[in-house]
Amino acid sequence: MVALARSPRIQPKTDESSAFEADVLAGLHATPKRLPPKYFYDGLGSQLFERITELPEYYPTRCEMRILREQGADIAKLVPKGAALVEFGSGSSKKARILLRALPPLAAYVPVDICGEMIEQEARELRLDFPGLKVLPVTADITREFVLPQPALTAPVRAGFFPGSTIGNFEPHEAAAFLRNAARILGAGATLIVGADLIKPAEVLNAAYNDAAGVTARFNLNLLVRINRELRGTFKLDTFEHHAFYNRERNRVEMHLASLKRQKVKVAGESVDFRAGETIHTENSYKYSVDSLGALARGAGWQPAAVWTDERGYFSIQAFTLAK
C-alpha cells in the first residue's frame, strides 16, 4: 500500500469541524442570519469570557460566586457523600472550586465543556488544589448525549452543576431538552444545581453586555475571527459591529454582529451577501423568574427543591431533584 503524502494546508475534517462548517453555513444562509453561541468558545473565546466575568458592569459572576460562598453549606446538604459531581459547561471551574470546598468527599468531579483546551488545563490545576479528588474532564457538547467516566457511573448517585446562567443561552425549548438530557445522564435520585440570571431593569442588563472596555464586543467579533481561521472566511472585522440590547417582550438580551455596509463575504467557498445594517444574531441570554425556571424544570421531570438569591434579587441558584 502506498502512503498518501499529507498536504500541510489541507487538514482532514473531524466530526467537530464538519459540524462547525455545516452550522455556520446554515446560519449564514438563514433569514435572519444567526450563529450558535457554543462556537464562541475556542481558546481565545474562553479567555475573553473569563475577562468578561471580571468587568465592573458584569454583575452575574460576582452575584453567583457570592451566593455560593454564603450558601455553600446549605447547598452542600443536597449532595451526599460519595456522589459524583458533573459540571455542565464548566469553563474555568471557578464556581466549582467554591462548591467543592463546601461538599463532602466525592467519588469524582467531572467538568464537561466543548472547549477541551480550557478544561484540560483547569483539571491539572484542580488536581493540585484538591489532591484527594478524582478530576475527570470530558470534552463534549452538553446538548448531546455523552458518556460519563466509569467512577462517575459507578458512584451511588450523581449531582449536576450548571452555573453561569448558560441555561439562558438556550431557547426555552432547548433548555427543556437540556434538562431532560441532564436527567438521563445523571440518573435516578440526582440533584441539579443551576445558576440562572433573573429578570431585572433594562439599564442594568444593557450595561452588562456593553462594557466600556469593549471586551464583550471582542468576544462577539472573535466568532468571525474563528470563521476566518477555520473555514477560510473573508470577514473584515472593521466592517462589523457589536450590538447588544435587552428585548423586554422576550425577556432576553440579544447579541448581534451588524454589517456596517453592503458587502459579500466568502465562507468555506460559499458566498454570503450582507445588506448595510443587516445583523448576524449570535447569542440570546434569557432571563428567568424563579417560577418560570421552576416550571420549565418541572416539565422536564425535575422537582424544585431549593432557591437562593442575592439581596438585590439579581441572580438565583436553584436546586432540582429527580425521584429515586
Ligand X SMILES: C[S@@+](CC[C@H](N)C(=O)[O-])C[C@H]1O[C@@H](n2cnc3c(N)ncnc32)[C@H](O)[C@@H]1O
Q: In the range 45-84, which residues lie near ligand X by CB under 6 A? A: 46, 49, 53
| Contacting residue, 21, 113, 197, 283, with ligand X by CB under 6 A | 113
What b-and-e string marks burial along 136-171, b requiring 16 or more CB atoms within 10 Å of the CB?
bbbbbebeeeeebeeebeebebbbbbbbbbbbbbbe
Residue numbers 126-155 binding ligand X by CB under 6 A: 141-143
Grid cell digits, residue 218:
471582542
Only one of the segments 25-33, 158-166, 252-260, 268-276 lies at the binding site for ligand X (rule: CB under 6 A); that segment is 158-166
| Contact (Cβ atoms closer than 8 angstroms) between residue 166 and residue 36 | no
Residue pair 276/262 in contact (Cβ under 8 Å)? The answer is yes
Containing 298, the helix (H) or strand (E) segment is helix 290-299
DSSP secondary structure, 37-88, as one string: GGGG-SHHHHHHHHHHHTSTT-HHHHHHHHHHHHHHHHHHTTS-TTPEEEEE
Q: Does 108 bind ligand X (CB under 6 A)?
A: no
Count of residues engaged in binding ligand X, rule: CB under 6 A: 18
Kindly state the smallest distance separating residue 195's Cβ from ligand X, in Å: 7
Distance in Å, CB of 73 to ligand X, minimum: 20
Nearer to ligand X, 85 or 115 (CB): 115
* Nearest-approach distance from CB 71 to ligand X, in angstroms: 16
The verdict on 114 binding ligand X (CB under 6 A) reads: yes
227 binds ligand X (CB under 6 A): no
Residue 233 binds to ligand X (criterion: CB under 6 A): no
Position 90 contacts ligand X (CB under 6 A)? yes
- Applying CB under 6 A, does 241 fall inside the site for ligand X? no
Binding site for ligand X (CB under 6 A): 38, 41, 46, 49, 53, 89-91, 95, 113-115, 141-143, 163-164, 166
